[in-house]
């Protein structure tokens, strides 16, 4: 029996060594020969099908053709019979009754009388459901007098017009194609440290901290990988991405992290827009002069400036609360909103939470790793936003239109996505460690683009910004940290770089 037991252990050890060696060979192969694994051949299928479907509508004799002048009159606030219409892909979309049930929130009313095409592109290009809603709510086509071979974009600012064209050019160039080798690499970087670190932390006291370190690496990589999946840059279909997130997050946490993805989509649509972007609305931390005008609470000025109260609050408490907040938010906002929500999701979350504390000895290493991973994710994300220019939703939507594009103002989609964020110095190592958050301007303009494709797209994006005299802001990581910390101390007088 002893002999069989020793042989079994040896066979298990040989098997583990073989698996480890095979995974190492696989990882190296993805680096050296990535094309061997193929790609998803992403060509924005649902967008193209939607454009085709809308084109078929225009060929019907009873489908109305509307002029811009008529559209603006029908949607004017001065019109007693104002229509709840916006424009997307050159068609008039009826928003009546939809804003209240829109999963992303009730902000759609801000687009009445405006063209929302750029926002549709970055949020729903891979969503069959959203684009189906768009097709069914199309009530007319805008007469194309803009000499545009795509569709009428005369209500868009010139730079946003160029952006929409660039999107379709990037589709043709294959910029949105995701290499399967990239996904394999992300899976290995995320879950191999987890599978190795967990038993070390649980069963080998002398190697406990090594196990925790590996789990923390896994947690930080998982945050970046989840971020990619929720942006639909990994899969060609939003529904598939949501299923992956749902199954994995419910299995591990008992909470559906798609809710967090929906919140993050709003952040991307309205980055640094006070009143819409919840990512900049941190409790007790005003980060812009506009926060004081809207009455946001914060630490007394003396405490902020000389005792570093806001900095201590962020690093010592708030950044560590990202995981609990993201876990509890869907529970209170969705699961407790109705009996159906509680029975379908809330009950599972309660049972999962009870099991976590009941078997705390087995869960604690993963909880620690997840909290550290989310702290890391919150920190690297914070370096690109809070010290940059901000606006309010009233200011932005009042000024948004075909004449927008005033230098120094945040009044177009492109300026909103490029002037409220910045890049940091990047290279192979920095990009890998920071999940390509180093190329944050590229990320905000094209969030569905795989992060490893940003370098190829960067030249074209810089040319777009240069064409319209927009700044392409880049600084070192140390300068980004310094600017962020200064903004926490002096939000009422922050200097925009």
59: helix, strand or coil:
coil
CATH number belonging to domain 42-154: 3.10.120.10
Q: What are the CA-CA distances from residue 222 to residues 191, 299, 310, 341, 356 (Å)?
A: 8, 34, 28, 27, 20
User: Tokens 């405490």 identify what position?
Assistant: 303
How many Å apart are CA 50 and CA 53, to the nearest integer? 5
Residue 116 contacts by C-beta under 8 Å, 6 or more apart in sequence? 86, 87, 88, 93
- Note the helical H segments in 33-88: 45-58, 68-74
Question: d(Cα 85, Cα 187) in Å, to the nearest integer?
Answer: 43
Report the C-alpha dihedral over residues 370, 376, 377, 383, rounded to 10 degrees. 160
Structure tokens of 26?
């696989």
> With contact defined as beta carbons under 8 Å apart, do 49 and 130 qualify?
no
Q: How far is CA 468 from the centre of its chain?
A: 25
Residue 431: count of CB within 10 angstroms of its CB: 17
As given in the structure block, the two tokens for residue 51 are 């454009």
Tell me the C-alpha distance between 431 and 481, whole Å: 17
**Could you tell me which residues are beta bridge partners of residue 92?**
87, 140
Q: Which residues of 24-33 are buried (b: 16+ CB within 10 A; e: fewer)?
A: eeebeebeee
Q: Is the dihedral of CA 429, 434, 435, 437 positive or negative?
A: negative
Tokens of 23: 């995974």
Decide: 305 and 490 in contact? Cβ < 8 Å: yes
- In angstroms, rounded to a whole number, what is the distance separating the alpha carbons of residues 12 and 10? 5
Q: With a cut of 50, list the residues of the chain below it in pLDDT.
A: none
Tokens of 171: 């589709």
Bridge partners (DSSP) listed for residue 242:
none
Neighbours of 216 (CB within 10 A): 21
Which tokens go with 1? 């029996």
Task: Spell out the SS3 assignment of 409-474.
Answer: CCCCHHHHHHHCCCEECCCHHHHHHCCCHHHHHHHHHCCCCCHHHHHHHHHHHHHHHHHCCCCCCE
CB atoms within 10 A of CB 441: 25
- Measured distance CA(442)–CA(427) in Å, rounded: 15
The C-alpha atoms of residue 206 and residue 457 are separated, in whole angstroms, by: 47
Both tokens of 482, joined, read: 């310094």
Q: What's the CA gap between 278 and 266, in Å, rounded?
A: 8
Q: Is 112 left (phi over 0), alpha (psi -120 to 50) or beta?
A: beta
Give me the DSSP letters along 157-192: -HHHHHHHHHHHHHHHHTTT--BHHHHHHHHHHHHH
Domain ranges of the chain: 21-38+178-496, 42-154
- How far apart CA 403 and CA 72 sit, in angstroms, is 15
């Amino acid at each position: 029996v002893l002999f069989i037991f020793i042989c079994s252990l040896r066979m298990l050890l040989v098997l583990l060594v073989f698996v480890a060696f095979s995974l190492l060979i696989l990882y190296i192969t993805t680096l050296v020969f990535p094309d061997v694994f193929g790609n998803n051949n992403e060509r924005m299928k649902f967008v193209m099908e939607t454009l085709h479907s809308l084109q078929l509508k225009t060929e019907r004799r009873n489908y109305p053709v509307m002029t811009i002048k008529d559209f603006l009159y029908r949607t004017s606030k001065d019109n007693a019979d104002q229509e709840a219409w916006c424009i997307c892909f050159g068609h008039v979309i009826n928003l009546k009754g939809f804003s209240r049930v829109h999963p992303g929130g009730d902000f759609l009313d801000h687009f009445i009388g405006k063209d929302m095409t750029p926002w549709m592109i970055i949020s729903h290009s891979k969503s069959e459901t959203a684009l189906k809603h768009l097709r069914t709510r199309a009530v007319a086509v805008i007469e194309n007098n803009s000499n545009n071979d795509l569709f009428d974009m005369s209500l868009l600012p010139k730079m946003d017009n160029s952006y929409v064209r660039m999107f379709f050019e990037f589709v043709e160039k294959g910029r949105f194609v995701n290499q399967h080798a990239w996904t394999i690499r992300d899976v290995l970087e995320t879950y191999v440290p987890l599978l190795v670190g967990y038993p070390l932390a649980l069963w080998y006291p002398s190697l406990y901290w090594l196990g925790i370190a590996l789990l923390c690496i896994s947690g930080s990589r998982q945050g970046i990988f989840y971020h990619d999946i929720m942006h639909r840059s990994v899969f060609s279909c939003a529904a598939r991405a949501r299923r992956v997130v749902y199954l994995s997050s419910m299995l591990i946490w008992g909470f559906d992290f798609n809710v967090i993805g929906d919140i993050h989509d709003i952040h991307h649509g309205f980055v640094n827009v006070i009143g819409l972007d919840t990512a900049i609305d941190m409790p007790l931390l005003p980060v812009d002069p506009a926060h004081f005008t809207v009455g946001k609470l914060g630490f007394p000025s003396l405490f902020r400036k000389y005792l570093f109260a806001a900095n201590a609050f962020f690093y010592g408490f708030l950044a560590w609360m990202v995981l609990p907040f993201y876990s509890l938010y869907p529970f209170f906002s969705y699961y407790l909103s109705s009996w159906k929500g509680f029975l379908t999701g809330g009950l599972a979350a309660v049972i999962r939470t009870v099991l976590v504390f009941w078997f705390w000895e087995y869960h604690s290493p993963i909880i620690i790793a997840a909290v550290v991973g989310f702290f890391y994710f919150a920190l690297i994300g914070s370096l690109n936003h809070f010290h940059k220019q901000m606006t309010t939703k009233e200011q932005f939507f009042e000024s948004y239109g075909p004449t927008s594009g005033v230098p120094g103002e945040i009044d177009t989609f492109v300026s909103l996505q490029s002037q409220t964020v910045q890049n940091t110095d990047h290279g192979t190592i920095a990009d890998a460690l920071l999940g390509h958050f180093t190329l944050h301007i590229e990320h905000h303009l094209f969030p569905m683009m795989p992060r490893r494709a940003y370098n190829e797209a960067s030249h074209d994006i810089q040319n777009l910004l240069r064409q319209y005299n927009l700044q392409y802001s880049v600084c070192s990581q140390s300068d980004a940290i310094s600017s962020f910390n200064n903004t926490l101390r002096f939000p009422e007088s922050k200097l925009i770089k």
